[in-house]
Amino acid sequence: MSLRENLLLYLVTDPVICGPKGVVPVCREALKAGVRFLQLRDKSACTREMVETAGRLARMAEGFGAVFVVNDRVDVALASGARGIHLGDDDMPPALARKILGPEAVIGVSVRTREGAEIAWREGADYLAANIVFPTPTKPDPRKPLGLGGVKDLAEATPLPLVAIGGINRENAGKALAAGAAGVAVVSAIMGAEDPGKAVMELLEALGAR
Amino acid sequence: MSLRENLLLYLVTDPVICGPKGVVPVCREALKAGVRFLQLRDKSACTREMVETAGRLARMAEGFGAVFVVNDRVDVALASGARGIHLGDDDMPPALARKILGPEAVIGVSVRTREGAEIAWREGADYLAANIVFPTPTKPDPRKPLGLGGVKDLAEATPLPLVAIGGINRENAGKALAAGAAGVAVVSAIMGAEDPGKAVMELLEALGAR
């Protein structure tokens, strides 16, 4: 499976949205149902806890042939055996992460503009995330949603695979692909689902993969 | 200068306590006045900001022959050219940090018991911090202060150099050395001083180094 194929349905964790079920069990259900790209995102846990959770997710993802990356924390990625890292504007510059993680690591970068996409490509990103596409309940976000037009614009501007993130659900997932995205990334649509496995299958269907 | 000598007066940064002066200028004054061990501690800044501050402090410390380490964040240490890391209970296990940072890195570990000191030594720590020795205004801390008796106990139990941290000032700094510490670590006593350089000189005098 190529990185582009892995990116079709990309799950970002959230310890609050998944509630008492817990991140690891929800990720297991999602991987079983067909998610092939997983990102640990946690802005509140201490490093020791993050390393422990990341280690469990890394081993689990590997068993399913999925790519596992950590949001922001290169230290947690190194300590857990993650395949790579996802970086935003507040995180380490991609070129620095590449220097630390080496040529084999998968590095994703959130972008909003053609210029940002060009810089991320030059800095060695392996994939980009158009962030954010639709308004999202995951976090209060002052950024104007890019919309499907923004996805199309970014996809045309870069040779890298692009995932659409922000407010993605089974109604609009197919439209993101039609606009040029290689895949969609979701938080709430799976993390907050009563039946995460069913939510994955419905999203894969909307993406034409079932 | 040996690591033990560097540890005599150890400054831990705090972006709140140092106020509008800013962490980098206060550290510069402290290094000029004789501090030879510096730790960047910041639990609120984003990674990009931390990497930038750490890079400036690493270069500055090197110019003064001082050791510079980062609290908790192995990624920031790697990205900034820091000499090493300081780890507490919530951070990465020392053995894992050693694996990532390599044999040359300086690794410090906060301990409270003889058993903790023994484990940290086995896991490859280069120095220990007795944390906390006296009640401290830096952070609300539910831990019972170890007192000078605790410092003596830990110093006797380990072959590693030990720094005393928590509520250290020029009145009690000399007593910590007399109890067996290789040095003292301070936050408020320098970060919160009106004249950080003067505070350093007074502490060095109390430590018998002037």
Give this complex's ipTM.
0.95
Q: Which of A47, A79, A90 sits opposite B47 (nearest CB)?
A: A90
Backbone angles phi, psi at B183, to 5 degrees: -175, 180
Q: Which of B47, B74, B90 sits opposite A92 (nearest CB)?
A: B47
**Residue-by-residue DSSP string for B118-163:** HHHHHTT-SEEEEE-SS--SSS---SPP-HHHHHHHHHHH-SS-EE
For chain A, give every domain's residue range: 3-206
The per-residue pLDDT string of chain A (210 residues; one tens digit each, 9 = 90 and over) reads 899 999 999 999 999 999 999 999 999 999 999 999 999 999 999 999 999 999 999 999 999 999 999 999 999 999 999 999 999 999 999 999 999 999 999 999 999 999 999 999 999 999 999 999 999 866 667 789 999 999 999 999 999 999 999 999 999 999 999 999 999 999 999 999 999 999 999 999 999 997
Residue at A14: amino acid letter: D
Structure tokens at A111: 């972008």
Torsion of CA B9, B13, B18, B22, to 10 degrees: 120
Annotation says B21 is catalytic: no
Q: Is A193 exposed, middle or buried (0-12, 13-18, 19+ CB in 10 A)?
A: buried
CATH topology of domain B3-206: TIM Barrel (3.20.20)
Cβ separation of A79 and B92 shorter than 8 Å?
A: yes
Residues 6+ apart with CB under 8 A from B65: B1, B36
Q: Inter-axis angle of helices B147-157 and B114-122, to 10 degrees?
A: 40
Residues of A catalogued as catalytic: 41, 110, 139
Q: How far apart are CA B92 and CA A45, in angstroms?
A: 12
Best to test chain A binding among B44, B47, B51, B76 (most A CBs inside 10 Å): B47
Average pLDDT of the residues in B53-58: 98
Q: What is the pTM of this model?
A: 0.96
Each residue of B134-156: pLDDT tens digit? Answer: 998 666 677 899 999 999 999 99
Residue of B nearest to A80 (CA): B96
Of A37-41, B17-21, B36-40, where does mean pLDDT reach its minimum?
Answer: B17-21
Best to test chain B binding among A41, A42, A75, A99 (most B CBs inside 10 Å): A75
